[in-house]
Chain A
Amino acid sequence: MSNRAFRKSSSGRSERELTSARFLRWQAERSVDRNESNDEGGREMSRETADEAVDHYSRKRDHSLTERGNSEIMGVRKFHNWIKRTLIREYCPYGGDMVTVLDICGGKGGDFHKWAEEANVGHVVLIDAARGSIDDALERYREFHWNKNQWHFGVTFVCADCFGADLHAILPPHLSFDFASCQFALQYAFSSEERIRGLLRNVSIRLKPGCSFIGTIPDAEFLIKKLKESPSPSFGNDLYHVTFPAKIDGRFADFGSSYRFYLREAVDDVLECKDQSSSHGLR
């Protein structure tokens, strides 16, 4: 972050605080030209997957604290939050105003508390393709930053497809990152090699050398093990189920092989893409 961000403006607020109100609106559909004709099956699959995931998360409304307290997957929610909190505490530099983080697919800003409490960061750039989620995140930030005076970091909200857009061209030129995080979302980039490379390029280009990039993803090895053990292409329990395509010939493409994932109250049977080496069969 540039020193310019800490100067006081004539209104008495630091420019960093003013920056926090900045809302960069990027039309995700601009970065993915939906009208572009494309006969390549993998690309169609990656677009279908991306669109379904974006629609799903955009439709999901933000739950109140009371609703979350009554959740049937409260244990899973708490556990996942504990995991993310632990990872941020372990890997994110605790640097006050000098630390800027990139929150990829940051959704409704569910990690804002963690950025504040575990790393005391100075600025967060939250990027998500789901416009509804960005709106919720902005509301949440307004409540805690302006009304409750609890989160003292600034935020730049960007609505963009992190896997398809060129973030370097979108973000303000002075922004660079001390830390990057992608929680429970990187699997959607594996719908095609082009998209996962797009994500890695986007993270790498503005991340300072020596800094870290963390994330959480479903483990392909575990899912394949469960699939092998299951008599049908579907498995799970009361809380979740995974359904692979009915016809499985024992081999998956490197990118774009899909399955459906349902997690009660969290993920509504969304198409997720799995990466499999073609040599890694199910024999």
Chain B
Amino acid sequence: MVRFSVLEKLAADYGFLLLAKRNFLGICKNYDPRQFNRMTPAELEVAEIYLMFAFVKERAVGWPPAHPKTTKDVIVA
């Protein structure tokens, strides 16, 4: 589980900027309120647990990546 402000702060260190953050019921309201009617109260409570996030890579941290020195541990079958 994640307290979102901490994730957002850490993500910024890697060049990510927050685009959107919404809990699942908020997504329902925005995109298709009919989803509410398809769930039981118990299912709605499960839905309340989760949220979504979308980051955009704003800064080019580590881009372009230098080629790794070795891939010898990869087994290609």
Interface residues of chain A, those whose CB is within 8 Å of chain B, are 22-27, 30, 73, 75-76, 78-79, 82-83, 86-87, 91, 166, 168-170, 172-173, 176, 184, 186-187, 190, 193, 196-197, 200-201, 203-223, 237-240, 254, 259, 263, 272-277, 280
Say yes or no: A24 contacts B74, CB within 8 Å.
yes
Quick check: B71 and A186 within 8 Å, CB to CB? no
Given the known interface contacts A22-B76, A204-B16, A274-B2, the answer about A170 and B57 at a Cβ–Cβ threshold of 8 Å is no
Q: B56: nearest residue on chain A (CB-CB)?
A: A212
Q: Which of A176, A200, A215, A220 contacts B1 (CB 8 A)?
A: A220
Partner of A86, one of B27, B39, B46, B70: B27
Please determine whether A173 and B75 come into contact, CB atoms closer than 8 angstroms. no
Contacts of B42 in A (CB 8 A): 237-239
Which one of A25, A78, A220 contacts B77 once the chains associate, using CB atoms below 8 Å?
A25
Q: Are B1 and A275 in contact (CB under 8 A)?
A: yes
Q: B interface, how many residues as a size bin?
A: 35 or more
Name the interface residues of B9-44: CB closer than 8 Å to any CB of A: 10-11, 13-16, 19, 23-24, 27, 31-32, 35, 38-40, 42-43
User: Nearest Cβ distance between residue A200 and chain B, in whole angstroms?
Assistant: 4
Nearest opposing residue in chain B for A203, CB measure: B14
Given A82-B32, A200-B10, A204-B14, do A259 and B54 touch, yes or no (CB 8 Å)?
no
| Shortest Cβ distance from A78 into B: residue | B38
Contact B10 A87 (CB under 8 A): no
CA–CA, A25 and B77, complex, Å: 8
Instruction: From B5, B11, B57, give the contact of A209 (CB < 8 A).
Output: B57
B residues engaging A (CB < 8 A)? 1-7, 10-11, 13-16, 19, 23-24, 27, 31-32, 35, 38-40, 42-43, 45-65, 67-71, 73-77
Q: Which among B15, B27, B38, B65 is the interface contact of A206 at CB below 8 angstroms?
A: B65
Give every chain B residue within 8 A of A280 (Cβ-Cβ). Answer: 3
- Is A168 touching B65 in the complex (CB atoms < 8 A)? yes
In the bound complex, do residue B73 and residue A200 qualify as a contact, i.e. CB atoms below 8 Å apart?
Answer: no
Q: Are A79 and B38 in contact, CB atoms less than 8 angstroms apart?
A: yes
- Shortest Cβ distance from residue A183 to the other chain B in the assembled complex, whole angstroms: 9
Q: Which 8 A-B pairs have the closest CB atoms?
A: A274-B1, A204-B14, A220-B3, A169-B68, A75-B43, A209-B60, A218-B1, A200-B14
Within the complex, the shortest CB–CB distance from A191 to chain B, in Å, comes to 11
Beta-carbon contact of B39 and A75 below 8 Å: yes
Q: Quick check: B14 and A79 within 8 Å, CB to CB?
A: no
Of the listed residues B13, B15, B42, B71, the one surrounded by the most CB atoms of chain A closer than 10 A to its CB is B42
B16 close to A213 (CB less than 8 A) = yes
Given contacts A204-B16, A204-B62, A218-B49, contact A172 B71 (CB under 8 A): yes
**Across-interface contacts of B58 in A (CB, < 8 A):** 209-210
| Bound-complex Cα distance A206 to B35 (A) | 35
Closest CB of chain B to A60's CB: distance in Å? 18
Residues of A within 8 A of B71 (CB): 169-170, 172-173
